[in-house]
Amino acid sequence: MKNGMKKTAAVVMAAMLMGTGAVVPAAEDMGIFSQTAIVAEAASVGKVTGLKSKTLSNSEIQLNWSKVKGASGYTVYMRKNGKYNKLGDCKGTSYTVKKLPNATRENFKVRAYKTVKGKKVYGKYSANWNTATNPQACKGLKVSSVGTDSVKLSWTKIGCTNYRIYQNIKGKWKEIGKTTGTSYTVKKLAPATKYQFKIRACKQDDKKTNNNHYGKYSGVVTATTKKSDKITQADIDAMKKELQEYSKSKATYVKEHYTEFWKYGIDYNTLEEFFDYYAKDCTPEESGYDTVDTIHFGESVSTLNDFIKLYKDYIDYEYNKRGDVYYVVYIESCPKGLDVNPNPCWAVYLLY
């Protein structure tokens, strides 16, 4: 009778402890008193907390968690087809999952266990943790087309969330854009200039962790933009320099008589100083000129070359007509145009 009462009490206690969520071996594997002891041990196995991860590559993820006091080891699980399947056991608080698909998000749980009389008794599962592997390295990056101010890049499609584009700017690689497609056009570049680019794939992690996983960089590609056919400020500056030198070569009278001109010995002493003096001080408001010629902002370089030839003829004509002056080529930018040309233009004066 006494033994029956003890047995009944042990069964009740076992039932109460099993309500804690601990997992115990089947009753038929041992006597009731041994089972009661194991249930008590299971109840003391703590829940795994602090589960985190570190993505090691495009196929490996390292899991880490906080130590559970008194645990003999830990079992790691990964979700597949809606169920958590066992991956393996470990004694420490770190486990590396290998041979995973690249750029793939996986879900994990861990629980601690104690070994009692050769049997594992488990604590509760940790909270779910999900993370992703890195994408593979991007391949096939090439320059598809080149313009005067743009370069189009393209590459081979791989598994990822998006692709990040990088440009070498003053010796440092800077991210300049991203796309979900397999091509990207870099714009607002300078004409006739060499550029370097590379890309890498990104697997975006879930929003609560706000982490991204990146593949290795692609190889570097180089592209040189085409020379623009449109006239630039640099073209105008070069034209002004060329025409000014041409005007100097034609100023025969000035070369022979510059010492007789006003302010000799005050503002200038040599012929070159004379030329510099006039080039700096002559403006349309303070000098004489006959007409104003204009060059439209949208015109081509070929137009500019024709203009230079015509203007040299114009300089020849003026020196033949009046040889005792020095002509200064003065050019100003007129974004809103002039009366003689309402379009944005460069206004060219021949001052004397």
Q: Please give the structure tokens belonging to residue 220.
A: 């570097």
Report residue 43's pLDDT band, with 50, 70 and 90 as the boundaries: low
Residue pair 126/107 in contact (Cβ under 8 Å)? The answer is: no
pLDDT at 349 (0 to 100): 97
pLDDT reading at 22 higher than 70: no
User: What single-letter amino acid sits at 119?
Assistant: K
Report residue 293's pLDDT band, with 50, 70 and 90 as the boundaries: very high
List the one residue out of 215, 48, 69, 194 whose CA is nearest residue 133.
Answer: 215
What are the beta bridge partners of residue 328? 351
Q: For the chain, give the percent of residues with pLDDT over 90.
A: 79
69-116 tens-digit pLDDT: 999 999 999 999 999 999 999 999 999 999 999 999 999 999 999 998
Pairing of β 151-154 and β 52-55:
unpaired
Give CA–CA dist 123/83, Å, rounded. 19
Its pTM surpasses 0.75? no
Question: For the chain, what is the mean pLDDT?
Answer: 88
- The helix (H) or strand (E) run that includes residue 277 is helix 271-281
Please tell me the chain's helix, strand, coil percentages from 3-state DSSP, rounded to the nearest 5.
Answer: 25, 35, 40
Q: For the chain, give the percent of residues with pLDDT over 70.
A: 86
15, 34, 84, 329 from 180: Cα distances, Å: 56, 61, 32, 53
Q: Dihedral (C-alpha) 260, 265, 267, 269: value to the nearest 10 degrees?
A: 80
pLDDT at 206 (0 to 100): 67
List the one residue out of 240, 156, 163, 152 whose CA is nearest residue 203.
Answer: 163
What number is the average pLDDT over the span 283-287? Answer: 93
- The helix (H) or strand (E) run that includes residue 79 is strand 73-80
φ and ψ of 123, to 5 deg: -90, -170
pLDDT at 117 (0 to 100): 86
217-232 tens-digit pLDDT: 999 999 999 988 889 9
